[in-house]
Amino acid sequence: MIGLYIHIPFCIHKCLYCDFPSYGGILQYRQAYVEAVCREIDSWSDAAAADTVYFGGGTPSLLEAGQIGAILDHLQKKFTIDPAAEITVEANPDSMTAAYAAALCSYGVNRISLGVQSFNDDMLRFLGRIHTAEQALQSVRDVYDAGIDNISIDLMYGLPRQTADMVKYDMDIMKILPVCHASAYSLIVEAGTVLKNGLDQGEFTLPDDKKIEEMGKLVHDSMHAMGFSHYEISSYAKAGRQSRHNCKYWQYTPYIGFGVSAHSFDGSRRWANISNIPDYIRRAGQQSVIGESIDIQRQRAMEDYCFLALRLRKGIEYADFERHFGVSLQSVFGDVVRRLSDQGLLEKTGKGCCMTEEGLSYGNYVFSRFIR
Which residue ranges make up the site for ligand SF4 (CB under 6 A)? 11, 14-15, 18, 20, 22, 57-59, 92, 115
- From the CB of 15, what's the least distance to ligand SF4, in Å? 3
Cis peptide upstream of residue 58 (ω within 30 degrees of 0): yes
Q: SS3 for 27? A: helix
d(CA 63, CA 100) in angstroms, rounded, equals 10
Name which of 188 and 225 has its Cβ closer to ligand SF4.
Answer: 188
- From the CB of 187, what's the least distance to ligand SF4, in Å? 12
- From the CB of 90, what's the least distance to ligand SF4, in Å? 8
d(CA 196, CA 201) in angstroms, rounded, equals 9
- Taking residue 318's Cβ as centre, other Cβ atoms within 10 Å add up to 16
Name which of 276 and 349 has its Cβ closer to ligand SF4.
Answer: 276
Name which of 51 and 170 has its Cβ closer to ligand SF4.
Answer: 170
Name which of 63 and 302 has its Cβ closer to ligand SF4.
Answer: 63
- Write out 62-94 in H/E/C secondary structure: HCCHHHHHHHHHHHHHHCEEEEEEEEEEEECHH
Name which of 22 and 264 has its Cβ closer to ligand SF4.
Answer: 22
**Alpha-helical runs (H) found in the chain:** 30-42, 65-78, 98-106, 121-127, 133-145, 164-175, 194-200, 209-225, 244-250, 277-283, 298-311, 318-325, 329-342, 357-361, 363-369
Angle between helices 318-325 and 329-342 (to 10 degrees): 140
Name which of 3 and 9 has its Cβ closer to ligand SF4.
Answer: 9
- From the CB of 285, what's the least distance to ligand SF4, in Å? 25
Name which of 96 and 360 has its Cβ closer to ligand SF4.
Answer: 96
- Taking residue 312's Cβ as centre, other Cβ atoms within 10 Å add up to 20
- From the CB of 14, what's the least distance to ligand SF4, in Å? 5
d(CA 305, CA 274) in angstroms, rounded, equals 25
Backbone φ and ψ of 109, nearest 5°: -65, 130
Residues in the chain: 372
Backbone φ and ψ of 100, nearest 5°: -65, -45
Please report, as a single letter, which amino acid is at residue 297: Q
Q: SS3 for 220? A: helix
- From the CB of 60, what's the least distance to ligand SF4, in Å? 10
Name which of 187 and 316 has its Cβ closer to ligand SF4.
Answer: 187
Name which of 131 and 245 has its Cβ closer to ligand SF4.
Answer: 131
Torsion sign (Cα): 175, 179, 185, 191: negative
- From the CB of 22, what's the least distance to ligand SF4, in Å? 4
- From the CB of 155, what's the least distance to ligand SF4, in Å? 13
- From the CB of 195, what's the least distance to ligand SF4, in Å? 11
